[in-house]
Structure 1
Amino acid sequence: MTTVLAYGHTERIRIHYDDLDAMGIVHNARYALLLERALTAYWEQRGFSFADGRPTLPDSFHAVVEFTINYRAPIRGTGDVAIHFWLDSFGRSSGVYGFTITSADGATTHAEGHRTIVRLDPGTMRPTAWTEAAREVAASLLKPAALVGAEEAS
């Protein structure tokens, strides 16, 4: 069954045995990695990747400056999960992702949160503006302003 999203993108990510802790659930530190795998797949399919240890496009050089996560229900074993992510905002040099990690069928929410990144100039390591190429891709992930405002009010 295919779900039509109102915004953002959903990527299926495989949970492997080595993602599990001694209790047989996904270790809390792995959730950030699961999101990273989903984001990497999305941007790589659109030309933003790494080759020979370097970014193929300059926007791939960025750093995470904040990561928040709320755990809702443990992931209890291997298999696929669905990671729905979107951009709440995309500024001059930064972006704020929202995300949810659910069971593959979407019935169980395992975690939700936000991740803020800043694009860096590789030479100075200072924030620098996104390129138009990144802005075009990011536009397809932006959550409509009306939805962002409605959630903040609730």
Structure 2
Amino acid sequence: MDDDVFATAHARDMIAADQASAMLGIEVTSASPGEAIVRMRVRADMLNGFHVIHGGLVFAVADTAFALACNETDAVTLAAGADIVFLTSAHEGEVLTATAQRRSLVGRAGVYDVRVQADDGRMVAEFRGRSLTTRRPVPDRSIPEKDMP
């Protein structure tokens, strides 16, 4: 992951500590306030019983793009809710690209849309996330225990 793709240190630090996205092999292409693009290659261990990507993992790649886009400032911003519409399936070896864009930001509440596409341009899913900027301080990465609730 190249640090140059990040517009804010907060987003860079957040994704660096995101073990779930790392385990899924999610790569950040770009991350700037209100926008983000991430990619994930579909692996054999990501397939469901019908040999297509598990819907939860499509949600995960969209959610990672959403998280990067909505953490626009140094304030901790979390999902308040999200919906996804699955449009088609993806298969082993395909690369999914999730592109997130802010639609509105009023006070501490935001709305972000994420398009998930396969590498051939097929639209795999559309995701809408609702964010809430908390009053929590940014976690001190040098003291992991401070991240615990």
1:137 corresponds to: none
CA distance in 1 between partners of 2:111 and 2:46 (Å): 26
Larger radius of gyration: 1
CA distance in 2 between partners of 1:62 and 1:35 (Å): 16
Q: 1:38 aligns with which of 47, 60, 65?
A: 65
Is 1:23 the counterpart of 2:76? The answer is no
CA distance in 2 between partners of 1:34 and 1:93 (Å): 24
Gaps of 5+ in 1: 1-6, 49-56, 124-154
Q: 2:134 aligns with which of 120, 127, 132?
A: 120
1:130 corresponds to: none
Gaps of 5+ in 2: 1-33, 138-149
2:81 corresponds to: 66
Q: CA deviation at 1:34?
A: 0.8
CA distance in 2 between partners of 1:79 and 1:34 (Å): 13
Q: Counterpart amino acid of 2:87? A: R
**Aligned partner of residue 29 in structure 1, secondary structure:** helix
1:95 corresponds to: 110
- Of structures 1 and 2, the one with the larger relative CO (CA 8 A, separation 6+) is 1
Aligned-residue sequence identity (percent) comes to 15
Q: CA deviation at 1:76?
A: 1.9
Q: CA deviation at 1:8?
A: 4.7
Maintained 8 Å contact 1:12/1:104: no
TM-score by length of structure 2 reads 0.58
Distance 1:9 1:120, change over 3 A: closer
1:110 corresponds to: 124
Distance 1:102 1:86, change over 3 A: same
